[in-house]
């Protein structure tokens, strides 16, 4: 792939965005991201980190928009990027977006597809599409509201303003903030720790949370019941129960 690297560090898949200078997103980039996340579905990969430097992703490649206008294109879809982000969101293992610099527009939408967002202290995030006469098109109006609340998301989307790392942490858009020089080490330490957890149970919990969120409680309970039964049948469940009874540390194998 030209713009994305996938490296396996122990059981951690590291997806690195690499389209200098600012990791501007276009159709080809989005296709490569989708491919990378599908590769990370490998059961041997038990946690995933998504990152890029010096900027995570500063948004869409605006020159592509201009080319569409010049060509008389009346509709332009962000569907490929939506698919890539959904592939990240649906990975059945813990995922962390490690955000350096800017994560704007599609960059923030990508980061919101991860389970957790760890930000460098100098990072800035936002949905500035409104400043171009556009709106977010790859999940920004939907995932942002679920993370920070409807009114906060409306303010950010309608104003297009950028949020610094401290405010992102305060409103729930960031999970942790680190000095820029410490972000990679801290993220990898966390990812390696996640990779020792009961991966199948985590996958079941993610399915229950993702599919059940926003549904009537009765439907959510049925989803949870099925997910619980899936986790009950795993080797990790047997190991976890045996370890608890024996008063020892569980050694999960992700099966």
What secondary structure does DSSP assign to 207-230, as a single string? HHHHHHTTS-HHHHHHHHHHHHHH
What's the average model confidence in pLDDT over 150-156? 97
221-252 pLDDT per residue, tens: 998 898 898 888 888 888 878 888 888 887 88
- Contact, 211 vs 188, CB < 8 A? no
Do strands 116-120 and 95-99 pair parallel, antiparallel, or not at all (unpaired)?
A: parallel
Q: Which of 53, 75, 89, 129 is catalytic?
A: 129
Is 155 catalytic? The answer is: no
Q: Does domain 4-194 have CATH number 3.90.226.10?
A: yes
**Could you tell me the residue ranges of all domains in the chain?**
4-194, 199-246
2-11 pLDDT per residue, tens: 999 999 998 9
Confidence check: pLDDT of 74 > 50: no
pLDDT at position 150 is 96
Distance of alpha carbon 178 from alpha carbon 122, whole angstroms: 9
Q: What is the pTM of this model?
A: 0.91
pLDDT at position 252 is 86
Lowest-confidence segment of 65-69, 81-85, 123-127 by average pLDDT? 65-69
Is 109 catalytic? The answer is: yes
Lowest-confidence segment of 1-5, 63-67, 80-84, 197-201 by average pLDDT? 63-67
Distance of alpha carbon 211 from alpha carbon 221, whole angstroms: 11
Q: Which of 74, 75, 89, 109 is catalytic?
A: 109
DSSP output for 62-80: HHHHHHHHHTT------HH
Multiple choice CATH, 199-246, 3.40.1000, 1.10.12, 3.40.1130, 1.10.10 = 1.10.12
pLDDT at position 238 is 86
Examine residue 21 and say whether the peptide bond preceding it is cis (omega within 30 degrees of 0). yes
Angle formed at CA 70 by CA 66 and CA 73, multiple of 5 degrees: 90
């Amino acid at each position: 792939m030209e713009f994305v690297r996938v490296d396996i560090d122990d059981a951690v898949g590291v997806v690195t965005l690499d389209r200098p200078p600012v990791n501007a997103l276009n159709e080809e980039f989005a296709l490569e991201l989708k491919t990378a996340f599908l590769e990370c579905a490998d059961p041997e990969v038990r946690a995933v980190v998504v990152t890029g430097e010096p900027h995570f992703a500063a948004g869409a490649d605006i020159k592509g928009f201009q080319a569409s206008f010049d060509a008389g294109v009346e509709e332009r879809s962000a569907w490929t990027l939506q698919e890539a982000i959904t592939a990240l969101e649906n990975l059945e293992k813990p995922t962390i977006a490690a955000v350096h610099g800017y994560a704007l527009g599609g960059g923030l939408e990508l980061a919101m597809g991860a389970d957790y967002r760890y930000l460098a202290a100098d990072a800035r995030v936002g949905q500035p599409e409104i400043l171009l006469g556009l709106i977010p098109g790859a999940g920004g109006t939907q995932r942002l509201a679920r993370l920070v609340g409807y009114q906060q998301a409306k303010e950010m989307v309608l104003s297009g303003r950028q949020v610094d790392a401290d405010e992102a942490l305060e409103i729930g858009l960031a999970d942790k903030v680190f000095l820029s020089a410490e972000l990679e080490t801290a993220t990898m330490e966390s990812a390696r720790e996640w990779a020792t957890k009961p991966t199948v149970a985590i996958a079941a919990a993610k399915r229950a949370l993702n599919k059940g969120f926003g549904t009537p409680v009765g439907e959510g309970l049925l989803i949870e019941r099925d997910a619980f039964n899936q986790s009950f049948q795993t080797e990790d469940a047997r190991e976890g129960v045996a370890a608890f009874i024996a008063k020892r540390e569980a050694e999960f194998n992700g099966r």
